[in-house]
Structure 1
Amino acid sequence: MNHRYSVAALLALMTITSHASVEPAQIERSLSLRDQWMPLTRDLMQSPTWAASGDQFHYKLSVEGGFMFFRDSVQQAKPTPAFDHQHIATALAQASGTTIDAMHLPFDQFRYTNNDQSIRFYYANQSWQCQLTEVHCEVLTWPNRPRGFSVVRDLRVEAHNPLRPSPDGRYQAHTVGYNVSIQTSNGDTVFATTDGTADNFYDPESIRWAPDSSALVVMKVTPGTARYVDRVLSAPTDQLHPQTITQIYPKPGDAVDIDQPVLIHIERGTAQVVNNELFSQPYQIDRVQWQPDSSSFSFRYVERGHQRVRLIDVNAATATPRTVVDEHSDTFVDMWGGFYQTLQQGDKGAIWLSERDGWAHLYHYNGKGELVNQVTRGDWRVRSVVHVDEQRQQIWFAASGMYEGQDPYYVHYFRVNFDGSELTPLTEGNAHHEAVFSADMNHYIVIRSRVDLPPVAELRRSADASLVRVLANADISRLTAAGFKPPKPFVAKGRDGQTDIWGLIVTPQNFDPKQRYPVIENIYAGPHDSFVPKSFWPFGFHSGGDKVIGMQALADLGFIVVQIDGMGTNNRSKAFHDVAWQNLADSGFPDRILWHQAAAKQFPWYHIADGVGIYGASAGGHSTVAALEFHPEFYRVGVAYAGNYDNRMDKISWNEQWMGYPIGEHYVASSVVEHAHKLTGALLIINGEQDSNVDPASTIQLVDALIKAEKDFDLLVVHGGDHAVGRSTGPIRYIQRRQFDFFLRHLGQKETPRWNQL
């Protein structure tokens, strides 16, 4: 290949431009900002949790020196420490081999177990249980056979196959080889199948007994593609040479396990294969559930491609299936936000969540599969269902977008009758709400806040939403005195000229409106949710992620940092969401660019004329590179973490949900690997070699494509790093500093310290 340059061009390439420099102390302040500010709040409540029964609850609260968990009750109003924090810190440190601070325990939520003698929580990607009376913590392991993203069983691992007793105790079932065997309680075999094979076996973990013990349903499985991803741990701590770690990892287009329900009647001694005409193209069959009277069992059928979902009911006497609910979409049925609950009283049926009228709403079906009525309706969406009360014919749910003049993402809570009457609000005020209800639904704790409103936690009665007492009223006076300023919400019209696009603007602590600041966007455009913070909790991952504190740390280096929910993200209308369908590279950029331009028009200090910076992780990493490739006239500098750069390389579950099935040219069109030759801006790629969420080979394939296209870029691969490396795990300060340096040099046009010489 011949390259010809003019003398002027060569001189330009050799010219070294003199830039202003950034002192190490300035970067150190940003790196330390979270640790400096985190201790400055008081009485800020997190994660209220009710006991499994009764009126007791517990929560995490910011106090002098850190955080503590407290226990309280509806009647007593005398919060006490939930446990001995130093005891738990000591026990967890011994078990995990890490340093644990009693005032900064590494979990936000727990549950009491073993008659309140232990607590159970999630830490370091594992479930833990710690005893409260002895210095002992242990990792809880689950015996079930692993499934790759819930659709392909890992046949290298033996299935959990204990004797599963019938409800009346007369029988017990398990598998012998590839077949089901049913015995009496004294061990006599009363029935066994004989048609199971290695390629079509009965799964013991799927056995579900009828409540009257007359029958059971079990899945007969045709295995899918056993795709495994090998990762190399290059520098193990216990040996010199590398280790290989293997993970089952089905990808888009792979064959999934085909589960075929089989109904076994004990006294008849029959095994009836349920006719699969109504569920012949499964992506997944799940939530097998018997009616209390044993008359039938039901399951949810998700068709391959995520465009059809059915609730199937199977008659226990005849093994005849019928459709109770049939949900279809020309784009996708959102399984990430799906909900249904079968009803067990009256004419049975189900409560079902659907977006069929353009918004997420609830529908009531009877036992014949007929629509009784649409329960909720309007240009707003049901966000989640808290409780279905068949006795009172009521539904308790969370919703957003109902109130004119409020941020359409703010969540409120309501109660409504099955017939849609008496829609009753349980929260009020122009704010975002998080509510948790007692087991008997008589009381609830609600935390009300905004990004600019410190949280207030209240205990209320469910009957009339009346206030019992205020549990905590956050004090951020010291945080404010230290320089904290809440981010500024900003709204602009999207690509259609009508839809409001919401985002936040974070300015430096020493902000001067007479100056002009380059802009950096923190992006995550995954269709499974919305991501701009709505509640007051600015702390999170060190690098920011979707939390305000990380954006503030970056802004303090002389930038404006923003976060936006463009079209294609969730929690608005179905049309808003559908923009992502088979087009993840869109990432809402037409809306985001208009939003930036509207901000620049309104604020003289919002400088985008020389290009905008962008950073993100996972799907945000993909979007970061897509911004530089597909919108190079606007986005000029990017830092991409752990990106799923080609949707064909990523996990089957998330990608087929939004990109569909079968695999086609639309996957190629959204791949930033395929379009690596379009890169013109500055790019830093960061990846952990032990990413179990996104195949690390996705990053290396992007690197390979960039090299072949003779593109310059920076690459940081972190030994042992997982999917969250640099954001909540790994050498966070180092990785964060590399991101800061990159933006300062390439967007801020400033020289950064020569760190190796310091």
Structure 2
Amino acid sequence: MSESFPRLHARTRRFTLGVPRGFTIAPGGDRVVFLRTKGGSDPVTCLWEYDVAGGRERLIADPRALAVDEDDLPPEERARRERSREQAGGIVGYSTDSAVTTAAFALSGGLYLADLKTRSVRKLKTAGPVIDPRISPTGEHVGYVTGGALHVHDLEDEVDHVLARPESPEVTYGLAEFIAAEEMDRMRGYWWSPSGDAVLAERADVSPVGRWHIADPANPSRPAVEQRYPAAGTANAGVELFILALDGSRVPVPFQDEYLVTASWDAHALLIVTMARDQRTMRLLRVDPATGSSTLVREDTDPAWVDIVTGVPGHLSDGTLVWAASLDGGHRLIIGDEPVTPATLQVRQILDIDGDAVLFRASGEPTEIALWAYKDGRITLVSPAESGVYSGHTAGGTLVVTGQTLGDEGSVTRVIHHGKARGHIASHAERHGLDLRVSLIRAGGRDLSTAVLFPSGHVPGSVRLPVLMDPYGGPHAQRVLAASGAYLTSQWFADQGFAVIVADGRGTPGRGPEFERAVLHDLASPPLEDQVDALQGAAAQFPDDLDLSRVGIRGWSFGGFLAALAVLRRPDVFHAAIAGAPVTDWRLYDTCYTERYLGLPGDGHYDSSSLFADAEKLDRPLLLIHGLADDNVVAAHTLRLSSALLAAGRPHNVLPLSGVTHMTPQEVVAENLLLLQVDFLKKSLGASSI
């Protein structure tokens, strides 16, 4: 008997296991270092190397061979993995020297060093459990954090130095604070100088941040875990910067803004990027490493908010600045002071700067993310012409392109050297076995990117199916993409007897700043209106296939908020909802995300975007699901909404998940969550006719 999709989906961590990732290309372009598990259901990530000329792989480090027990992860490492949504174990990150001859990584708190030439791996003696080891560009030292202190291990004399020791338990050196990791895509808190004789280090003091407590009600003997959570309108961690030299000197780097966005230290300059608390101003500063004084390089402003683009700042080989900003209605790549991409091409991410070339991801059509290169004043498409979602890396004339189309069973990783194909880096991901029936359309008055999925055996026009809306629908995340992997769960739901609709409304990325900024001061009305618009638009294109008298909606996180919102405010359209880990009151969510869209709580935009005032309106089936160990959208969101519904006398269902965080990596939990959701929808929408 073949394995069910829910079980396979859970066991493979959503089919991410076995997929190569984390690429680093040697300067000469002859080798590619990467991460991958050995199989599609193997959760232990190994370190590998690919020989470009010969097309051969070599295993560098296998955690199992090192006899590492990952049940003993340091709490700080567990938190880092939660922030990065890491679902695998083993070697989930590594760093290399500039020559890519040595790699450093952490395993269960231990610090390991791998010689990439000999494939020898050794464990280094450290002062405590290791977080975020980073080898210096010269390969002579490895930095790491333990107990909040920033250490440097000298690889020649095997001596451990403490560069900075925390002054109190609330202080850390060298780690990104919660907001940077969760909302600014910055997972690091220190940066080596090019010469390897100093680091730029973040000092984070969480003492101003409010204390929250994450309890485990299923195990009352366990004490609650204290967490410093910067809720909207409250204090953030105090962040400072210091240049810490290996000779013991310490130079402060003052800056005026609330947020440290990122930093970059290369042969041309030390740059830092800061952002104001209201997120309408971003400053790029050049820092003098000798004095810590800074000079303003550029200042970007926006009446709504400025956008953080990962991968910048940087420099071309001649020192020309590489930047990205929103200008003239588009997210654009900027070289020096000039935008070099058209406003119609939405730049998503800067991937690599290799000499005079810049590799970046961008969208012309919102459902596609292509790979582009800039060089000598021109931009060139370097990913395949076929519609899909692509990413990659480049160095030394070698280009690694990863991508997936609607027709692909999984992702494909191609290696190209000086324009010639040099083979593929294999994926060991499991095959999902689904017959994808996806139609990408533009729906409604705003031509919303929409995917419509039918059961694999559905004959068009033969029967009107109950409809399941399956959105995320909010900022940062896009669901409607020209890639098969985006629709696996949606297709499985369709195969249970539904027509599934996935729609990206206003606020989602891919269509430019104006579309994204439509949710300013209102996270509820535009996203909800667009789900209704997409539903009606899809029904107009498939009039004989969709039964609009039976419409359910499900979602997680922002999608959970949107699902609950839908049955509360538009019960005439939505007849049942499943809200997973929903944000129900934006006052309970974090500063950086919430204030970007709604301002401060006193600005008057929170009540209209929250759910409590609508509790008495509920007259449709609503299932609330929440992990009790969630430290991002805490369980209080669901519990308080449930209390408001109870006070209003409105029946509803609550499914608490003991020990589950904002992710659901536990295999049995993830599998049964899908099965329980289908059962709820069938009962709520009329099981006899599904």
Give the TM-score normalised by structure 1.
0.70
Listed one character per residue, the Cα deviations across residues 140-184 of structure 1 (whole Å, up to 9, x for unaligned) are 64289xxxxxxxxxxxx964165899xxxxxx9966896xxxxxx
- Of 304, 315, 322, which aligns to 1:343? 315
Count of matched residue pairs: 629
- The reply on whether 1:706 has 2:645 as its aligned counterpart is yes
Listed one character per residue, the Cα deviations across residues 227-260 of structure 1 (whole Å, up to 9, x for unaligned) are 1111221233xxx734311111111111224446
Q: Which has the larger radius of gyration?
A: 1
- The reply on whether 1:642 has 2:581 as its aligned counterpart is yes
Q: What is residue 397 of structure 2 aligned with on the other side?
A: 442
Q: Is 1:492–1:502's contact at 8 Å kept on the other side of the alignment?
A: yes
The one-letter code matched in structure 1 to 2:480 is V
Q: Aligned ranges for residues 133-282 of structure 1 at < 5 Å?
A: 141-142=130-131, 159-160=148-149, 225-236=208-219, 241-259=221-239, 279=256, 282=257
Q: What is residue 55 of structure 2 aligned with on the other side?
A: 77
- Of 21, 42, 52, which aligns to 1:47? 21
Q: What is residue 193 of structure 1 aligned with on the other side?
A: none
Quote the Cα distance in structure 2 between the aligned partners of 1:234 and 1:162.
Answer: 38
The one-letter code matched in structure 2 to 1:614 is I
- Secondary structure of 1:431's aligned partner: coil
- The reply on whether 1:736 has 2:674 as its aligned counterpart is yes
Quote the Cα distance in structure 1 between the aligned partners of 2:163 and 2:440.
Answer: 59
Q: Displacement, 1:263?
A: 8.8
Quote the Cα distance in structure 2 between the aligned partners of 1:433 and 1:701.
Answer: 39
Give the percent of matched residue pairs that are identical in Structure 1 and Structure 2. 19
- Higher mean Cα deviation, 701-710 or 653-662? 653-662
- Secondary structure of 2:645's aligned partner: helix
Q: Aligned ranges for residues 20-31 of structure 1 at < 5 Å?
A: 31=6
Quote the Cα distance in structure 2 between the aligned partners of 1:208 and 1:57.
Answer: 21
Listed one character per residue, the Cα deviations across residues 540-559 of structure 1 (whole Å, up to 9, x for unaligned) are xxxxxxx5332233222221
Q: Is 1:283–1:302's contact at 8 Å kept on the other side of the alignment?
A: yes
Q: Is 2:361–2:371's contact at 8 Å kept on the other side of the alignment?
A: yes
- Of 391, 403, 408, which aligns to 1:453? 408
Q: Would the alpha carbon gap of residues 662 and 73 (structure 1) be closer, same or farther in structure 2, given more than 3 Å must change?
A: same
Q: Displacement, 1:117?
A: 10
The one-letter code matched in structure 2 to 1:312 is L
- The reply on whether 1:383 has 2:344 as its aligned counterpart is no
- Secondary structure of 1:609's aligned partner: strand
Q: Aligned ranges for residues 147-546 of structure 1 at < 5 Å?
A: 159-160=148-149, 225-236=208-219, 241-259=221-239, 279=256, 282-288=257-263, 292=267, 297-314=270-287, 321-335=294-308, 337-343=309-315, 348=319, 350-365=321-336, 371=337, 373-389=338-354, 391-392=355-356, 394-401=357-364, 407-417=365-375, 421-438=377-394, 440-454=395-409, 457=412, 459-461=414-416, 463=418, 465-469=419-423, 484-494=434-444, 497=445, 499-513=446-460, 514-537=462-485
Q: Is 2:148–2:166's contact at 8 Å kept on the other side of the alignment?
A: no
Q: Would the alpha carbon gap of residues 174 and 380 (structure 1) be closer, same or farther in structure 2, given more than 3 Å must change?
A: closer
Q: Which runs of 5+ in 1 are unaligned?
A: 1-24, 97-104, 145-156, 166-171, 179-197, 366-370, 402-406, 538-546, 753-758
Quote the Cα distance in structure 1 between the aligned partners of 2:190 and 2:475.
Answer: 34
- Higher mean Cα deviation, 378-387 or 449-458? 449-458
Q: Would the alpha carbon gap of residues 673 and 340 (structure 1) be closer, same or farther in structure 2, given more than 3 Å must change?
A: same
Q: What is residue 684 of structure 2 aligned with on the other side?
A: 746
Q: Which runs of 5+ in 2 are unaligned?
A: 74-86, 134-145, 155-160, 176-188
Q: Displacement, 1:568?
A: 0.9
- Secondary structure of 1:610's aligned partner: strand
Listed one character per residue, the Cα deviations across residues 613-658 of structure 1 (whole Å, up to 9, x for unaligned) are 0111111111111111222211110011111111110122322233
Q: Displacement, 1:431?
A: 2.2
Q: Is 1:454–1:474's contact at 8 Å kept on the other side of the alignment?
A: no
- Secondary structure of 2:469's aligned partner: strand
- Secondary structure of 1:675's aligned partner: helix
Q: Is 1:203–1:219's contact at 8 Å kept on the other side of the alignment?
A: yes
Q: Displacement, 1:571?
A: 2.0
Q: Would the alpha carbon gap of residues 594 and 387 (structure 1) be closer, same or farther in structure 2, given more than 3 Å must change?
A: same
Q: What is residue 22 of structure 1 aligned with on the other side?
A: none
Listed one character per residue, the Cα deviations across residues 444-475 of structure 1 (whole Å, up to 9, x for unaligned) are 23244312334574644454x33334566999
Q: Is 1:456–1:472's contact at 8 Å kept on the other side of the alignment?
A: no
Q: Would the alpha carbon gap of residues 741 and 598 (structure 1) be closer, same or farther in structure 2, given more than 3 Å must change?
A: same
Q: Would the alpha carbon gap of residues 709 and 91 (structure 1) be closer, same or farther in structure 2, given more than 3 Å must change?
A: same
Give the TM-score normalised by structure 2.
0.76
Q: Displacement, 1:79?
A: 4.4
Listed one character per residue, the Cα deviations across residues 165-210 of structure 1 (whole Å, up to 9, x for unaligned) are 9xxxxxx9966896xxxxxxxxxxxxxxxxxxx9999979889898
Quote the Cα distance in structure 1 between the aligned partners of 2:173 and 2:463.
Answer: 66
Q: Displacement, 1:212?
A: 9.2
Quote the Cα distance in structure 1 between the aligned partners of 2:382 and 2:170.
Answer: 51
- Of 492, 496, 499, which aligns to 1:553? 492
- Secondary structure of 2:538's aligned partner: helix
